């Protein structure tokens, strides 16, 4: 015969011998343990005031910085806005005006909405970059008139507007500057689904809140009314310095603006446009397509834009435009494009990136630099 203590300890068939009160106590304890595990608490420890999920709130919060950008926006609105841009830009602009997925005879869930943002370049007839742009979809469905915002470098806004109006001819599209809007880059210090969820919940407080269409490491893009406080939109946000934004860009090897992509000089595939989701090789014709498509199908790209780090910080004014990057033997390995302090971006021959390199400065001085392959590049080329 088992003792009463043995009966209470039993998890087998003899548990029916427990009194109803004892069974209620055991069930309550089991429920508390399960609830604690579900919420992330440690039942063996007392939770301190101000802790969430068993960890201090200050230790789990992901810092998010909002950077004001020296870029501007143009508004394109009209029934032919998308088809007009389709012939000028490298990416498939119709993705912004048609929902994803194809038609199916069988019942199927509704297709996902079009993307909110798209990255692209405008090229000249020789296939070289004129402007790097990000397009934003403002209209909510295909029944509405196409309404797009076009982000560009602030120093080329007038030039880009003239370029668009030159090719507009009789297209039904209005092109106007957006003087009432401000553009921000929102970059969490580390990737977090919680941050993404919170930003998506705040979308109705801004004109646009969307992931950066280029690469994940560039965070989010935020468009607000001029004068609006982004910290009221971004939970837990802090205003950052634009210099820190460019430092982050250069560390990741992301070109942006006229200095990184000189007008009429930079080639789209050497500028990693395909890696940054900025080109479609299946869309119809656009200005500059011929050379770009031929280079892609040949599969030979000998030079690419890469992040570089100088051995010591150098003032940008000490580096002449298009300064040569040389190998140890003195042979040209590429050209330095732009940077800040010790980080920058350079167009380098892939055959030379693992060699000791140096940069020629004004006054016959020089500084060593190291190139690296970004982690966000496709694994097949991460060699």
Q: How far apart are CA 207 and CA 184, in angstroms?
A: 11
Segment 218-227 mean pLDDT: 94
The predicted pLDDT at position 150 comes to 98
* Per-residue pLDDT reduced to its tens digit, 143-152: 889 999 999 9
The predicted pLDDT at position 32 comes to 52
User: Would you say residue 108 has pLDDT above 80?
Assistant: no
Residue 118's pLDDT band, with cuts at 50, 70 and 90, is very high
Report the mean per-residue pLDDT for the chain.
Answer: 83
Inter-residue contact 267 to 334 (CB < 8 Å): no
**Structural domain spans, the chain:** 1-40, 65-99+112-252, 302-381
Structure pTM? 0.80
* Per-residue pLDDT reduced to its tens digit, 172-216: 999 999 999 999 999 998 766 777 777 777 778 899 999 999 999
CATH superfamily for domain 302-381: Aminomethyltransferase beta-barrel domains (2.40.30.110)
User: Would you say residue 127 has pLDDT above 90?
Assistant: yes
Tell me which of 338 and 362 has the higher pLDDT.
Answer: 338
The CATH code for residues 65-99+112-252 is 3.30.1360.120
Tell me which of 49 and 358 has the higher pLDDT.
Answer: 358
């Amino acid at each position: 015969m088992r003792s009463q203590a043995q009966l209470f300890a039993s998890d087998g068939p003899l548990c029916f011998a427990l009194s109803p009160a004892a069974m209620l106590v055991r069930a309550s304890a089991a429920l508390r343990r399960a609830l604690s595990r579900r919420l992330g608490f440690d039942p063996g420890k007392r939770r301190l005031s101000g802790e969430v999920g068993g960890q201090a709130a200050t230790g789990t919060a992901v810092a998010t910085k909002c950077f004001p950008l020296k870029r501007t926006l143009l508004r394109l609105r009209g029934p032919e806005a998308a088809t007009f841009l389709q012939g000028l830009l490298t990416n498939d602009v119709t993705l912004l005006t048609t929902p994803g997925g194809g038609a199916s005879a069988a019942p199927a869930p509704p297709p996902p909405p079009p993307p909110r943002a798209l990255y692209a370049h405008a090229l000249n007839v020789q296939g070289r970059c004129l402007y790097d742009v990000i397009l934003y979809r403002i209209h909510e469905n295909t029944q509405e008139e196409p309404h797009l915002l076009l982000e560009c470098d602030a120093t080329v806004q007038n030039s880009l507007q003239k370029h668009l109006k030159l090719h507009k001819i009789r297209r039904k599209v209005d092109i106007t500057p957006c003087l009432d809007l401000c553009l921000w880059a929102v970059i969490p210090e580390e990737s977090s689904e919680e941050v993404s969820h919170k930003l998506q919940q705040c979308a109705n407080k801004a004109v646009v809140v969307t992931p950066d269409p280029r690469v994940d490491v560039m965070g989010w893009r935020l468009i607000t009314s001029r004068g609006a406080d982004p910290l009221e939109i971004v939970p837990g946000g802090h205003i950052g310095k634009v210099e820190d934004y460019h430092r982050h860009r250069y560390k990741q090897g992301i070109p942006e603006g006229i200095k990184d992509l000189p007008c009429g000089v930079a080639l789209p595939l050497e500028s990693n446009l395909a890696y940054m989701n900025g080109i479609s090789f299946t869309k119809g014709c656009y200005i500059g397509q011929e050379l770009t498509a031929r280079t892609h199908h040949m599969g030979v790209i000998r030079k690419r834009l890469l992040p570089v780090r100088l051995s010591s910080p150098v003032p940008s004014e000490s580096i002449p435009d298009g300064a040569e990057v040389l190998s140890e033997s003195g042979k040209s390995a590429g050209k330095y494009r732009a940077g800040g302090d010790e980080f920058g971006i350079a167009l380098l021959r892939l055959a030379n990136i693992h060699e000791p390199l140096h940069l020629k400065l004004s006054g016959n001085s020089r500084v060593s630099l190291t190139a690296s392959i970004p982690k966000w590049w496709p694994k097949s080329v991460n060699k």
